[in-house]
Structure 1
């Protein structure tokens, strides 16, 4: 038993040496590559003097907020005079425009379309706010369930398929609150007044 223990310790003592023999410095990841590997979204913070979009918005329900769009982020928008809704990935940002890539399947090639910031009509934004965003979906469901439970179950009058004003008021309030929470989390920003989109640079 003692000999087996000594032999095991002898083998383990050489394990780090074998590991070092197989280590190839050329294959080691740089600190920047490790940073990107942990989170692909970190790529936008690694370049100085890089243009990105800033959306300043002031809404009646959600108040003032600012949202940033970097190259590689998706942006949902409409253009003035057009009914088409775009949801595209930003390829690059210049001083007064941004570019996204369109795949022309008929021609079998990629096309780059430039969008001038002054031509943007509306931008669809999303902000995840704890409790608020979840409530946007759960409260309407809870209100509908509350009204449905009162409607299908026997009440104090021992009758089904009836409800009262108080039940409708409580259930309707839940659904109305869910609608307000939805408008806070999911906003459609029209470019006018204090609502504007512009370009800034990283540093």
Structure 2
């Protein structure tokens, strides 16, 4: 991991993002996109952390944690091939109405397509069906540590990813500037300091594998 975890400032001009994060994109195939010729056959969708930020509406350790959880889980399940939407079941250890699990679940669903009963039911014959592929309160884990499992429905292989959110740096007193920023009373220096610390924490989550544990779940015969 690089020593410098501060994201790159892109000039903060209109039309540009204020910060550029350093993290690999997620590539995932979609059988519905294949069938409907949205993509060239066999090509994956490329989902970036920027895409997840757009879905969440903000960037924070929860959003970046969700991105890394799903990225690490898919990498472990599909080391030599693209993961496939509708073949990845997602199991969350916590409830949907939990502030952390609810947000993370939506973002992980955005990447994998896995959804509850209101998800896409697939094309004719259920091709690409994603309904009932996302389950909350699915297994027991330490409630203070966000934990998700990913299961390949074609092989039954399952991995568990735990996010040690308590090990993310707290950011220090600079984060106390947020209230003044919301109220519009913060100075430019206070805003800049807050942004540097806030996005530095996010980049740490995106680049520090020690914040996550990936475990293979063995199924009994």
TM range (shorter): under 0.3
Q: What's the TM-score once normalised by structure 2's chain length? A: 0.25
Q: What's the TM-score once normalised by structure 1's chain length? A: 0.27
Give the greater-gyration-radius structure (CA): 1
